[in-house]
Amino acid sequence: MMILAIPDRLPSLIVLVGFWIPPAVAGWVAAGSLLRSATRERATRERATRTYAWLAIFVLGYAAAWFTFNLGRMPPYIPGATTDPTFAPPRAVAALAVVAGALILPGSALACAWAFRRRGRMRGRPSTSREP
């Protein structure tokens, strides 16, 4: 009987473990877009500011979407959660909000910023291929 309950919880476990992947991809893509525009024309400060603002909005929206997604599939590792993933008692909702605010939001922001900076630094490096 326990084996039948696992597929219900599997999406929330995948989303918990891989929460950092979508923000990292967003940061990587945004850095590439900013670098491409810098090669065509000088990247203005306004364009960079708009990119940072869109990334901040994305990270906030992603954390809210993560919370909403897991609210409908209450993970068993949240304190106060029941064995029924479709029922979310108030104590479990509060705990899920703490996880979203204390882990998902800052973790997403760090992953996004890391990927953004990493791609920007990769562009400035010389080729790593060895010449004879």
Domain ranges of the chain: 18-120
Look-up of token digits 């599997």: 10
Instruction: Assess contact for 123 and 32: CB atoms under 8 A.
Output: no
Residue 94's contacts (CB-CB under 8 Å, 6 or more residues apart) are: 80
The pTM of this model reads 0.75
- Specify the 3-state DSSP secondary structure of 38: helix
Q: Show the low-confidence residues of the chain (pLDDT under 70).
A: 1-13, 38-43, 75, 77, 123-132
For residue 94, CA distances in Å to 3, 85, 90, 104 come to 28, 15, 6, 14
